[in-house]
């Protein structure tokens, strides 16, 4: 069977095969949670075996394969196995509600799913699920096969398996949308990182981001390209600032990459002062704004390594970058810029009509270049809506982020154009939370707003009109949301009102709701639930 050998230069899996040839005995991955480690040679061999297993079960070039397993050495072997089979991987949070994961796998009609044994049952147990045949692979993984055949949306590019992975992000209408990246768009970013940050085989990368989050592209592929070691940080340790602070110090990590939220929690709760971070040489953060006060404190604590702010919606990988200098003045109150174009991309600031604004004016950032996605899976109209074609016929991805260029020529992030916020580095469409609330039979109206919060960065408050008996329990509402949404989208607080305030055009008055956050009694009814915004 030669399906396991789709190896051409420029593909992601060739990074592994090349490194396995060059450094077969170097440790590629280690998992502090289990003490397990694997060399480049072993990882390459194992992933080839998995590619063969997928091919034998009908997975072909151009197919999609779902991945619903906790982060582990084995999960990385499966990622490369899927790529070697010529398929694209579709990672989901193994802890996410099964309905959401199943919806994603149905949306992109995966041919197979690599599932943790604990979640495989909930993915099968549905009359809509075509994945009927399960094969156990060791104690922890079940391979579900027999998935949908070739119902290919027009926007998909099956030709030769150019699609590498699909990352689903929050969608405003309630359904997550799949961002399609090709091997080439991932490599545009990975290869730029090589040249810019010059890692080598003695480096040790943290892998904090889960694989369904785009920060993982850096951790996995940049490290593997250079024969570096990757320290896998699983879902549980990844949420514990104490464990993270310990891993970053004791595992000899040289490249750290995470969201500002994670670094802030480590700073506040990780008891970092007594530890030795002497091995760190590069610190990267991305996904959201890093509040300047905490960045300053972290910069003082970690004074030796270089610091970088990487910016880019999932649709663009990383499209701008900024190096944070060693000293952040005490009187600086603005966050650091997002910087200048990265990954060989071009950036432009445009007005609402798509015309470039004069340098220094505010406008929407649009991006063109090799690291930009192919499009949204099965949603050509969404892809078209997010694309600006200029007079020269060049396509630009509209980020929806409002920026301006500062005197030094760096872009500065100012805010969003729409109802999307970033929370713990994840994109949260407030409309998707409302859709989840509406699934509760006693909720007749829902309006969700995000406000900035000193402690957690962004606080999410849900206003709702309640038709049930008595007043709703915040604990019950949290559980309802957690059953329908990923944890980072669960609102911090719920406020029950008689009815939601409306604008003159009869739309929900979100500005009024934002003002009402944290003001008990300002709604038309008494608030319920957590008024303190405790989340992080």
Partner 1 sequence: MSDIQSAVKSYLLEEFFPDESPDALEDSTPLISSGILDSLSTIKLVSFLEERYGIQFEAHEVSRENLDTLDLIAETVGSKRNG
Sites of contact with partner 1 (CB under 8 A): 236-237, 239-243, 245-246, 265, 269, 455-456, 473-476, 478-479, 481-483, 487, 490, 527-532, 534-536
Shorter beta-carbon distance to partner 1: residue 87 or 92: 92
* Tokens coding 292: 């300047």
Q: Would you call 339 exposed, middle or buried from its count of C-beta atoms within 10 A (0-12, 13-18, 19+)?
A: buried
Residue closer to partner 1 (CB basis): 382 or 480 = 480
| Residue among 444 and 476 whose Cβ is closer to partner 1 | 476
Min separation Cβ 493 and partner 1, Å: 10
The beta strand positions in 62-102, using DSSP E, are 64-68, 88-91
Q: In this structure, how many other beta carbons lie within 10 angstroms of the beta carbon of residue 139?
A: 6
Q: What residues contact residue 364 under an 8 Å CB cut-off, 6+ apart?
A: 349, 350, 351, 352, 398, 399, 400, 401, 402, 403, 417
Least distance between partner 1 and beta carbon 470 (Å): 9
Residues 328 and 454: their CA atoms lie apart, in Å, by 20
Least separation, in Å, of the C-beta of 333 and partner 1? Answer: 24
E-only strand ranges, 32-137: 36-39, 64-68, 88-91, 112-116, 133-137
The three-class DSSP label of residue 321 is: strand
| Inter-axis angle of helices 73-84 and 12-22, nearest 10 | 110
Q: How far apart are CB 473 and partner 1 at their closest, in Å?
A: 5
In 3D space, the residue among 318, 298, 300, 299 whose CA is nearest the CA of residue 310 turns out to be 318
In the bound state with partner 1, the residue whose beta carbon lies nearer, of 81 and 472, is: 472
Closest separation in Å from C-beta 97 to partner 1:
10
CB of 287 to partner 1, least distance (A): 15
C-beta separation of 161 from 62 below 8 A: yes
Which residues have CB under 8 Å from 355's CB, separation 6+? none
Q: How far is the CB of 490 from partner 1 (least distance, A)?
A: 5
Instruction: Give the DSSP H/E element, type plus range, for residue 447.
Output: strand 443-453
Q: Based on CB atoms, which residue is closest to partner 1, 243 or 254?
A: 243
**Comparison of 402 and 487: residue with beta carbon closer to partner 1:** 487
Residue 472 three-state SS: coil
Tell the smallest beta-carbon distance from residue 271 to partner 1 (Å): 9
CB count in 10 Å sphere of residue 159: 9
Q: How many CB atoms lie within 10 A of CB 300?
A: 11
Least distance between partner 1 and beta carbon 402 (Å): 28
Smallest separation (angstroms) from partner 1 to the CB of 359:
40
CA dihedral 440, 446, 447, 451 (to 10 degrees): -40
Comparing CB distances to partner 1, the nearer of 53 and 249 is: 249
Least distance to partner 1, CB of residue 246, Å = 5
**Closer by beta carbon to partner 1, 388 or else 517:** 517
User: 44 or 434: whose CB is closer to partner 1?
Assistant: 434
Q: Which residues contact 4 (CB under 8 A, 6 or more apart)?
A: 48, 51, 52, 55, 84, 85
Nearer to partner 1, 478 or 515 (CB): 478
Distance CA 75, CA 141 (A): 9
Q: How far is the CB of 455 from partner 1 (least distance, A)?
A: 8
The torsion region of residue 248 among left (phi > 0), alpha (psi -120 to 50) and beta comes to alpha
Question: What is the spatial distance between Cα 44 and Cα 18, in angstroms, rounded to a whole number?
Answer: 10
For the bound state, the minimum distance from the C-beta of residue 492 to partner 1, rounded and expressed in Å, comes to 8
C-beta of 70 vs 339, nearer to partner 1:
70
Residues with Cβ < 8 Å from 485, sequence gap 6 or more?
Answer: 97, 100, 432, 433, 436
Radius of gyration of the chain (CA): 23
- Cβ closer to partner 1: 293 or 483? 483
Cβ count near 84 (within 10 Å): 28
Cα→Cα distances 359→61, 352, 400, 404, 520, Å: 46, 16, 18, 8, 44
Identity of the residue, 213 or 510, whose beta carbon is nearer to partner 1 in the bound complex = 213
Nearer to partner 1, 373 or 465 (CB): 465
Closest distance between partner 1 and the C-beta of residue 527, in Å? 7
């Amino acid at each position: 069977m030669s399906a396991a050998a789709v190896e051409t230069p420029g593909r992601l899996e060739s990074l592994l095969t090349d490194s396995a040839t060059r450094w077969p005995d170097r440790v590629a991955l280690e998992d502090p949670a289990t003490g397990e480690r694997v060399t480049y040679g072993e990882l390459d061999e194992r992933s080839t075996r998995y590619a063969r297993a997928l091919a034998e079960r009908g997975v072909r070039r151009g197919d999609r394969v779902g991945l619903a397993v906790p982060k582990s050495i084995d999960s990385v072997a499966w990622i490369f196995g899927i790529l070697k089979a010529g398929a694209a991987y579709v990672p989901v949070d193994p802890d996410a509600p099964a309905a959401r994961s199943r919806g994603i796998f149905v949306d992109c009609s995966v041919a197979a799913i690599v599932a943790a044994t604990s979640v495989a049952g909930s993915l099968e147990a549905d009359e809509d699920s075509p994945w009927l045949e399960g094969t156990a692979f060791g104690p922890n993984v079940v391979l579900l096969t027999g998935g949908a055949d070739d119902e290919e949306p027009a926007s998909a590019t099956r030709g030769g398996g150019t699609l590498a992975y699909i990352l689903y992000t929050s969608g405003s209408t309630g359904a997550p949308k799949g961002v399609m990246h090709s091997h080439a768009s991932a490599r545009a970013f990975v290869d730029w990182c090589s040249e810019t940050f010059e890692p080598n085989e003695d480096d040790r990368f943290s892998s904090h981001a889960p694989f369904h989050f785009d920060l993982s592209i850096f951790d996995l592929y940049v490290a593997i390209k250079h024969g570096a070691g990757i320290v896998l940080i699983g879902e549980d340790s990844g949420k514990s600032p104490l464990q993270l602070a310990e891993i970053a110090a004791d595992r000899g990590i040289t490249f750290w990459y995470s969201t500002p939220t994670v670094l802030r929690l480590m700073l506040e709760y990780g008891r970092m002062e007594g530890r030795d971070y002497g091995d760190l040489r590069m610190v990267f953060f991305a996904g959201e704004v890093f509040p300047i006060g905490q960045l300053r404190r972290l910069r003082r604590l970690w004074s030796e390594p270089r610091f970088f702010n990487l910016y880019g919606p999932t649709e663009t990988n990383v499209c701008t970058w900024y190096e944070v200098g060693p000293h952040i003045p005490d009187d600086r109150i603005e966050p650091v810029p997002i910087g200048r174009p990265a990954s060989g991309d071009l950036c432009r600031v445009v007005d609402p009509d798509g015309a470039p604004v004069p340098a220094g004016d505010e406008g929407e950032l649009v991006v063109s270049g090799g690291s930009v996605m192919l499009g949204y899976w099965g949603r050509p109209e969404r892809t078209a809506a997010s694309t600006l074609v200029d007079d020269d016929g060049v396509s630009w991805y509209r980020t929806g982020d409002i920026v301006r260029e500062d005197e030094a020529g760096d872009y500065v992030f100012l805010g969003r154009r729409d109802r999307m916020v970033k929370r713990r580095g994840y994109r949260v469409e407030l409309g998707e939370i409302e859709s989840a609330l509406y699934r509760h039979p006693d909720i007749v109206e829902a309006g969700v707003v995000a406000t900035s919060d000193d402690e957690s960065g962004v606080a999410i408050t849900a206003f709702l009109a309640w038709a049930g008996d008595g007043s709703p329990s915040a604990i019950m509402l949290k559980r309802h949301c957690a059953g329908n949404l990923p944890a980072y989208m669960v609102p911090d607080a719920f406020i029950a009102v008689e009815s939601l305030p409306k604008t003159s055009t009869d739309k929900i008055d979100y500005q009024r709701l934002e003002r009402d956050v944290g003001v008990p009694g300002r709604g038309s009814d008494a608030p319920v639930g957590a008024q303190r915004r405790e989340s992080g």
